[in-house]
A and B are shown apart, each in its own frame.
Chain A
Amino acid sequence: MLDSLVTGLYGLTAGVTYLFTQGGPNVIMLLIAALLLYLGVKKEVEPLLLVPIGFGCLLVNIPLSDLMDKGGLLRILYDMGISNELFPLLIFVGIGAMIDFGALLEKPKMLLFGAAGQFGIFFTLLVALALGFPALEAVSIAVIGACDGPTSIYVASQYAPQLLGPISVAAYSYMALVPIIQPPIMRALTTPKERMIRMEPIKRTVSTQTRLLFPIVVTLVTGLLAPKGLPLMGTIMLGNFMRECAVVTRLQKASENEIANIVTLFLGLAIGGTMEGHAFLKPQTLMIFAMGFVAICMDTVAGVVFGKIVCWMTKGKVNPLIGAAGISAFPMAARVVQAQGQLYNRKNHLLMHAAGVNTGGQIGSVVAAAVMLSVLKGMGLIT
């Protein structure tokens, strides 16, 4: 009888005992979970992601929580859609259904800005290698520079699942911080005269057939050149094709609303589940956050420098600020460019140009990841 009472009481106090004996990392992570929830709820920083991630982090760090053990809720979600890359791909269908590539189609050469804006990925890869990360971990960290959450999750879940938590949180946090990170770099690299350059308004020249064929052509071209990235590009373009063909409105709406919302919830919770204190709190995590920051800064630097080159080549017809929009954070980066342009010339309307570059950055980030994976396959590092 006494034994039963003692063991029963032990069951009730085990969590508290654990917290005071070996629960230091869990306490820190509970504070981080509170910070993520605060940022999501109070500051509205990527709330759709940070709220479920924060709550998942809270759940998994309650001492003796078995939610990430075999059969636990978070483990089921993780196995259901992260370890097999399903969730990021379903989110891509929704993103494709939401994005209007019209501005990019008006000026297809804007795609090259989307290539320049991926420089941070490759620069960060070198930094990660220099810091001693193994090749596949370095690649997964570098993809934070794509400024694209689903792409980062897709790559990390395959090649560095042990770093999935910090990589995804860094990717989404820096995406939200684009309006703070980019402007000082844009100002430092351009002269006031360059910032005041007014660009010709974009005229509407794209036919319905072109818009309809665009997703098919993009899928074919990228599928042929970088087949390892076909799931990424194929799903984003499936969503866009449903949007442009206009005969499956229900599927399009479901992709961009119900499916994207449900998957975002599951994805966020499962990522939060990977943030268990003892696994998350390592010097590596801080290094990943620092490298993510470097990656996004270098994306902006390369984009603006590319913009300056194009400005010089076109004899001042292109405002170099639009280069900063060549990243995947849509439409934030385009809005930052518009705001910066208007600071120096109230009559300057760069939004449409920047939106074209920004959608080019969306495609560019997926292409960069696809190219990286295909090169890795070519080198025999992945199957």
Chain B
Amino acid sequence: MDGEKWAFGLTMMVVGMGGTFLTLWVLGLAMDLLKRLFPLVDKAADTPKQS
């Protein structure tokens, strides 16, 4: 494999794999943020107990 192809392959490997990890990490953070902003409300706990 000539130098140009190696450079292309390694660029794709580093930037591609790195970009995939980075994008999914950002997505994970965004999902965590969503969960914090909109937590699950326990309806049973919110409902006043009937005497």
Chain A residues within CB distance 8 Å of chain B: 104-105, 108-109, 111-112, 114-115, 118-119, 121-123, 125-126, 129-130, 135, 138-139, 204-207, 209-210, 213-214, 217-218, 221-222, 225-226, 360, 363-364, 367-368, 370-372, 374-375, 379
Contacts and interface: CB of A to CB of B under 8 A. Distances in A.
Given A221-B26, A225-B23, A108 B15 contact: no
Contact of B40 (A118, A206, A375): A206
5 contacts: A111-B28, A129-B6, A209-B38, A210-B35, A214-B31
- Binding site of B, secondary structure by majority: helix, strand, loop or mixed? helix
Contacts of A111: 24-25, 27-28, 31
Contact count band on B: 20 to 34
Interface string B5-28: 110111111011101111111111
Given A129-B1, A129-B9, A204-B40, A108 B20 contact: no
B30 A115 contact: no
B26 A108 contact: no
Nearest to A123: B13
Nearest to B12: A125
B44 interface: no
Contacts of B35: 105, 108, 205-207, 210
Contacts of A108: 27-29, 31-32, 35
Contacts of B39: 205, 207
B45 interface: no
A115 B12 contact: no
